[in-house]
Structures are given as structure tokens and as C-alpha cells.
Amino acid sequence: MTGFSSLFGKSTEKYDQSVSELFKNSADGPISKNQLIDKKRTVIEIPKSKKRKQAEQEGDASEEDAESRVSEESEGSEGSGEEESNEDEEIEEEKVIKKAKKKDENDNLEAKYFEKVMRADEKDEEEGDVDDDSKIEQLANKDSSSVEKETKKTKSAQTIDFKEAELEKAERTAFVGNVPSDVITSKTVAKNFKKLFKQFGKIDSIRFRSISFDENLPRKVSFAKKSLHNSRDSVNAYVVFVEKSSSLAAKKLNAIVFENHHLRVDHVAHPAPKDNKRTIFVGNLDFEEKEESLWNYFNNKLDNDVESVRIIRDSKTNMGKGFALVQFNDTLTVNRALMLNDKPMDVTSGNKKARKLRISRAKANVKPSLMSPNHIENAKKAYASNKSREQQQGLTDTQRTKLGRAQTILGKADRSRVGKPKKVIIEGERATKGQKIAGIKGLKSGKVKKPRIRDRSTKFKNEREAMKKEVKR
């Protein structure tokens, strides 16, 4: 113990003295109850947020009611004059009231929640009924508007014109080339021509094409006047039979001589096959060369073995382009015809000099060079083929076959209309002289456009008047 006492003996006395010095002052000593009551409370104001302010404002009304009740109770109490007891009681009562409020609010939370849920369900049901009615009305309005739009967008039904009547007519038609032009001018020649084909069956109609006229008049007037060009002595004819078998049997008349002309007879819908092994190309021909001269020349040189002669002509002027295709019955005849290359052909009529023929084998699918004028025609053909492909979209197989067959068989006028919707022509009122017609270009208010007077129109009027006078006589 001597060691411990030596360590802590002196220090304890110092600590006791320091503690006693702390409590010497009465202000530092223990505080009485009266001193605590008299002493004012220190209040620290804390900045309140917006949400807290709203909550306090809502709670102020309830607190005022509670305070009024507390004040009424406190008036009946005995120590109303004593400040100490009043303050203590108010503080305790406020605590009790706050606790009661919290308990009441917590007890009613579940009931309030269920009430909100029930009200929300009732509102949803009411809104659902209204929404269903409004949705039905909206759908009905949409359906009606969509129907109206569809009726506006939908066009009237159109029937595509496949030229079925013309195709059926082509099945009964025979083509006749190198027909003498006297068929148009002479009635006896026309009767003999009809009699020649009538032996195969009943003829429905005969029409003549590729006619060269002498004057610059409408075709109908020129045909009525029978003013044909002197340089062209042949035309083409289409003989339409009543039955298809008669038209096929008429192909036997090919290469027959009629009025000193070798006829080239073929079928429109079922033409004879073109064999390039039996065909030669003949160039350096005169533009006014005739088929009959080529028939006579090659028949005399090659033992009457010519099957057909075709001079390629311009579609507008009916003048030759300077070359022709000659087909023989035998392939060996082609070798003999090639020996006539670069030899002059005898001139049968006129004072023209004999021209040296350029003869070669016919080639299939020969494409002209870029320098050739026929290159533009090939571009047109490619454009026409692409256009036909566009027309074939959305068609059935049978419709495509009809369209393709019509494009290969029919003429230019029918080919231009095939595959397109049919036009319905409605005849209206005829225009009278001096009448104003709306929609015609060049018409101004108060004036009527006068027609242009040309030589062709004057000739047409004069010829029409002359024909009327002849009919009256």
C-alpha cells in the first residue's frame, strides 16, 4: 500500500480542492424550481418548407378548436391565478391532444383508404359506360367516314379491252400480197379476185391496204376517185372468211399467177414459218422496184423455185427501202442464188439502168449498228416491249396470252388500244355553225375560231361538189 499511497496520495488532495472551487459561487450551484419558472425559454426559429407550411395551415384550424376546449376547462380549475400550474397543465394537455390526434388519424387511415378505392371504382364504372358509348359513336363515325373515303377513292369498274373480236376475226383472215392495183379500179378484176378465193368457202369481207395515191387528198376521197400512183402497181388485201378452215385452205393459192402477178398468200393468225436457211437478202434495189420483177428474175434464173418475195416498204409513203427478202422452196437453191451476187438485174420497164444486186444469206436477229437509221426503230420496239410488260402486271395467265397474241397479230391501231380500258363514247348534240363551244383551245369570248383554209381542204370541197353533181345527173 505504501507504493500506491505514494502515487495517489498528493494528487487526490489537489483534485478535491479544484472541485470545491467550482461550486463556491451560488450561480453555479443547483437551480431551484422557481428560478426555472422565472427563466425565459430560448426559442430558435427554423425556416419552414412550402409543404410544411400547408400542413401547418391545415392543422391550425383543428388546434384552435382544441385550444378553445382546453381554455374552457382551464377556467373551471382552481389555480387560474397561479402561472406555474397553468403553464405546466397547458404543456401536458397539448402533448395529450397531439397524441390523441395522431392516434385518431392512424385509426382512420384504413377506412379512408377503402373509401377512396370505392369512390374511384364507382367513377371508373361511370366513366367506362360513357366511354363505351362514346367509343361506339366514334367507331361508327370512323366507319362512315372510311366508307365515304372509299367511295370517293374507288373508281367505276373498267373492262380491259383485249380485242377479242379482232382476234377472232384474225383467225378467219387470209393475207394476200402483190395484188394488182386494177382490183380497185376495175370491177371485173375485183369479181375475178373474189371468185378465186370463193372456192374455199364463203367470204365475209375483203379490204385493201398499202395503197399509194396520186393526189394529196383524204384517203376516202382518193379511194372514191380511184386516183392511184402510177409507180406502184400492186396492193395488199385481207380476205375475211366466214369459217376458219376456209382461211387456212386458201394458203394453197400461194405463188399462183393472177393478172400477171404472183400472189403471196399467207394466214394472219397462223403464218407460214420463216426459214432463214431458205431465205436470201437482196440489197441495192431501186426505191420504186416491184415485187413482180423479182419474182420473174429469180424464177427464170433458179427454175421457178421461189416461194415468196417481200420488199420492205415505208409504212407512210409505201415506197421501198431498197432491200427485199426472197424465200425459196429448197435450201440448195440458196447456194445457186448466191452466185448471182454483184450481177445486174434485167430492167423490164422504163429507161433506168440495170442495178447490181447485193445478195447474201439471211441472218436471224441482226441488230443494226449505232450508225444505222434503223437503230431508232429498235429503241422504239424495246420501249413497246417494256410497256407491254407493265400492262401485263395484275393479269391472269389467260389474259396475258390474249394480250401477247393481240400484240403480235393485230395492226398498229388495234395494238395501241389493246390492254387498255374500253372507252365508252356517248354521242351528244352536234355543233352548229357559229356556235360557241366551251373547252376548245383558241376560243375567246364573243368570237368563234375560224378553220384554216388549205389546198387540201379546198380540193376536198371541190371534189365533193363535183361528185354530188355527177350523182344528180
Question: What percentage of the chain carries pLDDT values higher than 90?
Answer: 29
Cα separation, 134 vs 138, in Å, equals: 6
3-state secondary structure of 121: helix
| Packed helices 83-153 and 50-75: angle between N→C axes, nearest 10 degrees | 140
Superfamily of chain region 159-272: RRM (RNA recognition motif) domain (3.30.70.330)
- Whether the per-residue pLDDT at 152 is higher than 70: the answer is no
The residue assigned the cell 384504413 is: 110
Write the pLDDT tens digit of every residue in 254-299: 999 999 999 999 999 999 888 889 999 999 999 889 999 999 999 9
What average pLDDT does this structure show over 86-112?
A: 63
Q: Which fold has domain 273-365?
A: Alpha-Beta Plaits (3.30.70)
CA separation for the pair 314, 287 (Å, rounded)? 10
pLDDT tens, position by position, 17-68: 666 666 666 555 566 666 666 666 666 666 655 555 565 566 555 555 555 5
- Percent pLDDT > 70 in the chain is 56
3-class DSSP string for 238-272: EEEECCHHHHHHHHHHCCCECCCCECEEEECCCCC
Predicted TM-score (pTM) of this structure: 0.56
Helix H or strand E encompassing 404: helix 397-409
Q: What is residue 69's predicted lDDT score, i.e. its pLDDT?
A: 55
